[in-house]
Chains A and B, each alone.
Chain A
Amino acid sequence: MIRIEKLHKSYPIGKDSLHVLKGIDLHIKEGEFVSIMGSSGSGKSTLLNIVGLLDVHDEGNYYLNGQLIKDLNEKKAAILRNKFLGFVFQSFNLISYKTALENVALPLYYKGMNRKERLKVALEYLDQVGLKDWANHLPNELSGGQKQRVAIARALVTKPKVVLADEPTGALDSTTTDSVMDLLKDINDQGMTVFVITHEEEVAEQTKRIVRLKDGVITSDELTKAAKAV
């Protein structure tokens, strides 16, 4: 599903440049539940952004669903994101003036689905995350955990191949963290590839494969107990 070969990425900082990713090789198969661990500055967010087509790499190859990602313009990137990827962000990134239902339906709008159908589909997904009764509430009327569930429903609504979650529990307390992780596990159980970035050990342990990143290189890549248990 995701194949990365010798990926490099640097950011210019004044005259110098900061070499963030120093040759990453990573292969994630369909249906995997992977977490990327690392302290801040390890390059894990950069990796996710490149995988999510939100940013571009400098060197190396990136294949998404077998397709080489190279010289994408914004329009093509937008189409690929809409088709293959679902995002869950640490800060939720819901649109504040849209209701939960409208937020979930938004990716379907960009897919070109008509209004009636997309609201119906969006409601099904909200139901799946247990927020059907909150469909017509604005984000600021929801708790953090609820917002993240809305965001997850939004990520799922287009039936993406991969769900990318950037510190999905970073802004949540432990109880809601568990419920969000349970939700991600359910999604994975349904066969979707889930790619989580975190710095929390407990969160990573709930995934099936942990990739540890340090200073732009992969230091370890192993399956977790959870995976071995299956």
Chain B
Amino acid sequence: MFDLDRWREIFQSINKNRLRSILSGFTVAFAILLFTLLFGIVSGLSNSFKDAFADDAQNMMVVRVWKTSKPFKGLQTGRRIQLRNADYDYVKEEYESKIQYQTARIYKSVSIKYKNKADNYRLRAVHPDHQFLEKTIIDEGRYLNEKDLRDKSKVLVIGRLVKQDLFGEKPALNKRVNLNGSSFLVIGIFSDDGGDNEERQVYMPVTTAQMMYGNNDYISQINLGYNPNLSLDAAIAFGNKMERDLRSKMNIHPDDQSALSVRNMAEANKGVGQFMFVLYLIVIFVGSGTLVAGIIGISNIMIFVIKERTKEFGIRKALGAKPASIVGMVVQESVLITTIAGYIGLSLGTFILAQIGDALEDYFIKDPSVSPGIVIGATITLILAGLIAGYVPAKKAANIKPIVALRAD
């Protein structure tokens, strides 16, 4: 029920007792401000972690091989392990349902020449799925496709910086370049969020590279993206199983980490997830502490305020104020102050977070912000606290006999 006179009484009381009102408001505003900043900064941390994995697909798994470090089935240590097309096909067939994308990679260093300009670049010979695993962005032309692989076409997809080096501002698409003495057609130009190194790469079909370099079926590593429908735990289990299967297939000791390993983003994701979970727990703990401190602050001030006003309440009662009207007045005043102060703290907090923006990126705080739900929840908590903090002592004061209240000083 809206009662203009009641509001007038409250505004007068607030206005005439400014220091008191500001003090109680300050407690609330400060609590909400700290709460907002705390949550904002943690969300900034969380954003940084998410971004740290933005270069590659989040569901990536990489199969890599080196030399054996443990003897197994009569085979000596130091044996060099080589991945082949057969291994690639084995993974593809064995785990088809668990794989979203799959590509081989062959690493080479190449010299590329266009007209009078030449430089050395890193080459990755890959399958078409590589585009999605590496999050390659095609700026012009197209990426490699299945037909390129079948035909072992001499085509290249070059990085934005490669194009800049060799072609400058001139168009590069459909031009022929000289790669280690052979003529290749530029079919696409790409960019990548992974930084300059990523954009100094060139991609060619894996089959073309195998033909060029020794005409064999060697591959350097296998990258795959697990089916995103898998849970993190299922993805980790899948990675572990694949690692065991491949080791056994290639006669590697089951625990020989340096001969063959599967690097699984799912494990990193789980680690980060757990880290963020713990961080949020800490923040909830500290944040709740801040709120509790705010609540205690309001309660203290309200108790003091009501003590100070006991005589006034006695006068009002002698003049005909009902206890409920006194309780209502105090509670309404308390809630009004907490609401306004909460809103100020909230606005200030979000404003500061917006000002921070990406300025603290070096400290792993990126784009800090708070979800409205959390902040509104916190404000409502404080309003309720203000309500209770006002109600309990006011109820007590209103029930004091007027004669006692009038004697108070």
Tell me the minimal C-beta distance from A110 to chain B in angstroms.
4
Q: Does B317 contact A (CB under 8 A)?
A: yes
Q: How far is the CB of A107 from chain B (nearest CB, A)?
A: 4
A interface residues, how many (CB within 8 angstroms): 29
Show 10 residue pairs from A and B whose CB-CB distance is below 8 angstroms, ordered by the A residue.
A74-B398, A75-B324, A78-B317, A82-B319, A87-B319, A97-B17, A98-B16, A102-B12, A110-B320, A111-B320
Nearest-CB residue, chain B, relative to A106: B319
Hey, which chain B residues are within 8 Å of A109, CB to CB?
5, 9
Q: Which positions 67-113 of chain A face chain B at CB distance < 8 Å?
A: 74-75, 78-79, 81-83, 87, 89, 93-95, 97-98, 102, 106-107, 109-111
> Hey, which chain B residues are within 8 Å of A74, CB to CB?
317, 322-323, 398-399
Q: Is the CB of A97 within 8 A of B319?
A: no
Q: Are A54 and B312 closer than 8 Å at their CB atoms?
A: no
Is A52 located at the chain interface by the 8 A CB criterion?
yes
A98 to B17, CA, bound (A): 11
Q: B322 and A54: CB pair below 8 A?
A: no
Interface residues of A (CB under 8 A from B): 49, 52, 54-56, 74-75, 78-79, 81-83, 87, 89, 93-95, 97-98, 102, 106-107, 109-111, 114-115, 154, 158
Known contacts A54-B401, A55-B403; A79/B12 CB under 8 A: no
In the complex, which residues of chain B have a beta carbon less than 8 angstroms from the beta carbon of A111?
A: 320
How far, in angstroms, from A55 to B148 measured CA to CA in the complex? 102
Within the complex, what minimum Cβ distance (angstroms) separates B275 from chain A? 55
B405 nearest CB neighbor, chain A only: A54
* Bound complex: CA A107 to CA B315 (Å): 10
How far does the alpha carbon of A154 sit from the alpha carbon of B324 in the complex, in Å?
22
With A78-B322, A82-B319, A109-B5 in contact, is A95–B312 under 8 Å at CB?
yes
Total number of residue pairs linking A and B with CB closer than 8 Å = 70
A78-B322, A110-B320 known; A93 vs B5 contact (CB < 8 Å): no
- Cβ of B13 within 8 Å of any chain A Cβ, yes or no, is yes
**By the criterion CB–CB under 8 Å, are B403 and A93 in contact?**
no
Task: Tell me whether A81 and B319 are in contact (CB under 8 A).
Answer: yes
Closest CB of chain B to A43's CB: distance in Å?
14
How far does the alpha carbon of A78 sit from the alpha carbon of B325 in the complex, in Å? 11
Name which residue of chain B comes closest to A114, CB basis.
Answer: B5
Q: Tell yes or no: B281 within 8 A of A by CB.
A: no
Bound CA span A40–B183, Å = 120
A62–chain B nearest beta-carbon distance, Å: 15
Cβ–Cβ < 8 Å partners of B4 in chain A? 115
| Chain A neighbourhood of B398, CB < 8 A | 74
The yes or no answer to B406 lying at the interface (CB within 8 A) is yes
Residues on A with beta carbons closer than 8 Å to the beta carbon of B323? 74-75, 78
Closest A residue to B325 using CB positions: A110
What residue in chain B is nearest A45 (Cβ atoms)? Answer: B403
Q: Judging by beta carbons under 8 Å apart, are A52 and B16 in contact? A: no
Asked if B406 contacts A54 (CB within 8 A), the reply is: yes
User: Which residue of chain B lies nearest to A164 when distances are taken between CB atoms in the complex?
Assistant: B318
The answer to whether B315 touches A78 (Cβ under 8 A) is no
Known: A110-B325, A115-B8. A54 touches B318 (CB 8 A): yes
Q: Is B402 an interface residue (CB 8 A)?
A: yes
Chain A nearest Cβ from B2, distance in angstroms: 14
Cα A109 to Cα B319 with chains together (Å): 10
Given contact pairs A52-B318, A54-B401, a sample of 8 additional A-B residue pairs in the complex whose CB atoms are under 8 Å apart: A74-B317, A74-B322, A75-B323, A81-B320, A82-B320, A83-B320, A106-B316, A111-B320
Taking CB atoms and an 8 Å cut-off, the chain B residues in 1-24 that contact chain A are: 4-5, 8-9, 12-13, 16-17
Give B305-358 interface residues, CB cut-off 8 Å to A. 311-312, 314-325
Give the distance to chain A from B21, nearest Cβ to Cβ, in Å: 12
Q: Is the CB of B16 within 8 A of A97?
A: yes
Contacts of A98 in B (CB 8 A): 12, 16
> Which of these, B8, B322, B406, contacts A89 with CB under 8 Å?
B406
List chain A residues, Cβ under 8 A from B402.
54
A54 to B319, Cβ gap below 8 A?
Answer: no
> Are B406 and A158 in contact, CB atoms less than 8 angstroms apart?
no
Let me know if B403 and A81 touch, CB within 8 A: no
How many angstroms from the CA of A79 to the CA of B323 in the assembled complex?
11
Min CB distance B109 to A, Å, is: 84
Using CB atoms, name the residue of chain A closest to B309.
Answer: A95
Q: Tell whether, in the assembled complex, residue A79 and residue B320 are in contact, meaning their CB atoms are under 8 Å apart.
A: yes
Q: Which of A56, A93, A98, A158 has the most CB of B within 10 A?
A: A93
Minimal beta-carbon separation of A27 from chain B (angstroms): 23
